[in-house]
Amino acid sequence: MPLTPHHHATRRRAATALLGSAVCVCLLAASAPAAPLGIGDRLFPHLGNPGYDVLSYDLALSYSGSNDQPLQAVTTIDARVTADLDRVNLDFARGTVRSVDVDGRPAAFTGAGEDLVITLEDDLDEGESTRITVRHTSDPAPAGREGGWVRTADGLAMANQADAAHLVFPCNDHPSDKAMFTFRITAPDGHTAVAGGLPAGVDRARGATTWTYRTLHPMATELAQVSIGRSTVLHRTGPHGLPLRDVVPTRHVAKAEPWLAKTPGQISWMEEKAGRYPFATYGLLLADASTGFALETQTLSLFEREMFTDPALPAWYVESIMVHELAHQWFGNSVSPRTWSDLWLNEGHATWYEALYAQEKGGRSLEARMKAAYEASDGWRAAGGPPAAPRPPEPGRKTGIFRPNVYAGGALVLYALREEIGRTAFERLEREWVTRHRDGTASTSDFVRLASGIAGRDLTGFLHPWLYGTTTPPMPGHPEWRAAARDATPARRPVTPAHRPGASRE
Ligand SMILES: [Zn+2]
């Protein structure tokens, strides 16, 4: 359902006309057409909005029990104003907006592109705090656009990466603006709701229950997760007493349990590589849906249920995908990309640890995998652009930035770097990266700078051709490796030889 704007302009005009000429100047300025704004992301020009920094979201969702009815929702945003504003743009592209309040007063609003444009009665000044409350619906109906709500056999889950959180709730939908989240989810008896973060209360009323969850660390909108379903929540303990909970369709618990029991060991393995797990909880959400991908939603990674109930999949493969999403909690979640062109920092690292785990625990050679990636690399660069300057997505297919050039191509950059600076320096760099930028955002140039600092020499001349070159540089230590001729490589080659048929991304 398209955004349905309610125009309050008529009532406003009548009210302001009584207040004299000074106000009329503002009214003229404010009556310029509302326009969608962005923060200038090269790949998603209209994503995010200038002029404010969201500190927290409070997202209250009420589910009827049917995926065919929109959820009733109230999104409350606390933000710090970073530039003088006479309007506030939020990203929001699906659902009906019923009302908007700014600091407790009703405000006029309209839709423009994928933005909800709010006209302020009183301008906001740089440095002020503001609270914006939007009463709206959140519509899980299929709408010919990827992302947002995922309809499962028994309820709903979310898959908002890269630019689809604003199909679910109004927000500043860019990973450079991380914020704290509170989720309050009301669902009828028989359903269980779980969201990212730690539980913060359960209120049972006649026929329905409200579950509250809070993040203890800032989170990007794309990483929000809310699960509503006929689920069982399985609890266990990870390293250092870390509380773990998995959300599983109740009838699939027995088959899934042997896989889920592997998570504590995987976290310990990742902690040996990258240092302490960065959040207050972790777990897997097994969605009864054919998504074609897994997604590292913060503290509660999303997987297709079938991955854990299909006996045909090899164990090393299932486990390495579990480790891929786990590794993202450090690389991509705790440290978020500054722009979407930095996506290789997420996917390259997650693929790296996925491959390293497959080698250490499954006997699958990392070097052989990297050699195969090297052979394909020029083709990936031709099709999708270099790892750190990916091609924009095709219209209507925005997950098109999730290409092999940032997955195995990104891991190949890390392999080249490790060959160049040595294992000890590389491992120090990895730990220092997630320590220094914990709970923050970081860019490719931050990574090059830190790598140079740790190696004790400027690595710009080495890394830039790897990150930005149209062809693949020679591999240090492997001068005999050759990239296949470009035209010999199909543009839509699978991500890796091990990649699951049908899965488009992780
Ligand atoms: Zn991934």
- Regarding whether 289 and 200 lie in a shared domain, the answer is no
Alpha carbon of 455 to those of 425, 442, 460: distances in Å? 6, 19, 12
pLDDT in tens, 227-253: 999 999 999 999 999 999 999 999 999
Q: For the domain that residue 273 is a member of, what is the CATH number? A: 1.10.390.10
Tell me which residue of 499, 495, 390, 493 sits closest to 162, measured CA to CA.
390
Query: What does the pLDDT average to over 183-207?
Result: 98
- Regarding whether 310 and 393 lie in a shared domain, the answer is yes
Tell me which residue of 335, 334, 331, 313 sits closest to 323, measured CA to CA.
331
C-alpha 209 – ligand 1 centre gap (Å): 33
Task: Flag whether pLDDT at 291 surpasses 60.
Answer: yes
C-alpha 109 – ligand 1 centre gap (Å): 36
- Regarding whether 56 and 159 lie in a shared domain, the answer is yes
Confidence (pLDDT) at 484 = 87
Confidence (pLDDT) at 394 = 82
- Regarding whether 280 and 132 lie in a shared domain, the answer is no
Tell me which residue of 334, 437, 349, 468 sits closest to 42, measured CA to CA.
468
Task: Flag whether pLDDT at 29 surpasses 60.
Answer: no
Query: What does the pLDDT average to over 442-446?
Result: 98
C-alpha 325 – ligand 1 centre gap (Å): 6
Tell me which residue of 93, 259, 245 sits closest to 165, measured CA to CA.
93
C-alpha 357 – ligand 1 centre gap (Å): 15
What is the domain range of residue 138?
1-221
Output b/e per residue, 100-129; b: 16+ Cβ within 10 A.
Answer: bebeeeebbbbbbebbbbbbbbeebeeebe
Domain boundary, last residue among 164, 191, 221? 221
Q: Are 178 and 219 in contact (CB under 8 A)?
A: yes
C-alpha 321 – ligand 1 centre gap (Å): 9
Q: Are 315 and 357 in contact (CB under 8 A)?
A: no
C-alpha 344 – ligand 1 centre gap (Å): 9
The SS3 of residue 312 is coil
C-alpha 407 – ligand 1 centre gap (Å): 7
- Regarding whether 142 and 240 lie in a shared domain, the answer is no
C-alpha 278 – ligand 1 centre gap (Å): 17
Domain boundary, last residue among 204, 221, 238? 221
C-alpha 358 – ligand 1 centre gap (Å): 15
Give me the percent of the chain exceeding a pLDDT of 90: 86
C-alpha 299 – ligand 1 centre gap (Å): 14
- Regarding whether 248 and 207 lie in a shared domain, the answer is no
Confidence (pLDDT) at 127 = 98
C-alpha 199 – ligand 1 centre gap (Å): 26
C-alpha 295 – ligand 1 centre gap (Å): 7
- Place 134 in a pLDDT band, splitting at 50, 70 and 90: very high
C-alpha 267 – ligand 1 centre gap (Å): 16
C-alpha 66 – ligand 1 centre gap (Å): 31
Q: Are 496 and 372 in contact (CB under 8 A)?
A: yes
C-alpha 110 – ligand 1 centre gap (Å): 35
- Place 499 in a pLDDT band, splitting at 50, 70 and 90: very low
Residue 490: enclosing H or E segment and its boundaries? none
| Lowest-pLDDT range of 192-201, 335-344, 449-458, 486-495 | 486-495
pLDDT in tens, 483-497: 987 554 444 433 333
- Regarding whether 321 and 191 lie in a shared domain, the answer is no
Confidence (pLDDT) at 356 = 98
Q: Are 170 and 75 in contact (CB under 8 A)?
A: yes
pLDDT in tens, 311-367: 999 999 999 999 999 999 999 999 999 999 999 999 999 999 999 999 999 999 999
- Regarding whether 73 and 168 lie in a shared domain, the answer is yes
Task: Flag whether pLDDT at 28 surpasses 60.
Answer: no
C-alpha 309 – ligand 1 centre gap (Å): 21
> Tokens representing 378?
């020029």
Task: Flag whether pLDDT at 22 surpasses 50.
Answer: no
Tell me which residue of 391, 388, 377, 452 sits closest to 417, measured CA to CA.
452
Q: For the domain that residue 57 is a member of, what is the CATH number? A: 2.60.40.1730
Domain boundary, last residue among 221, 249, 271? 221
Average pLDDT of the chain? 91
- Place 54 in a pLDDT band, splitting at 50, 70 and 90: very high
Confidence (pLDDT) at 399 = 67
- Regarding whether 178 and 73 lie in a shared domain, the answer is yes
| Lowest-pLDDT range of 69-78, 457-466, 496-505 | 496-505
* pTM greater than 0.95: no
C-alpha 442 – ligand 1 centre gap (Å): 17
C-alpha 401 – ligand 1 centre gap (Å): 12
Confidence (pLDDT) at 188 = 98
Q: Kindly tell me the number of DSSP H helices and DSSP E strands found in the chain.
A: 11, 21
Task: Flag whether pLDDT at 122 surpasses 80.
Answer: yes
Confidence (pLDDT) at 257 = 97
Task: Flag whether pLDDT at 9 surpasses 80.
Answer: no
- Regarding whether 149 and 290 lie in a shared domain, the answer is no
**Looking at the 3D structure of the chain, how many domains does it have?**
2
- Regarding whether 344 and 200 lie in a shared domain, the answer is no
C-alpha 495 – ligand 1 centre gap (Å): 11
Confidence (pLDDT) at 498 = 33
399 vs 230, more confident:
230
Query: What does the pLDDT average to over 114-135?
Result: 97
Confidence (pLDDT) at 19 = 35
- Regarding whether 186 and 145 lie in a shared domain, the answer is yes
C-alpha 481 – ligand 1 centre gap (Å): 26
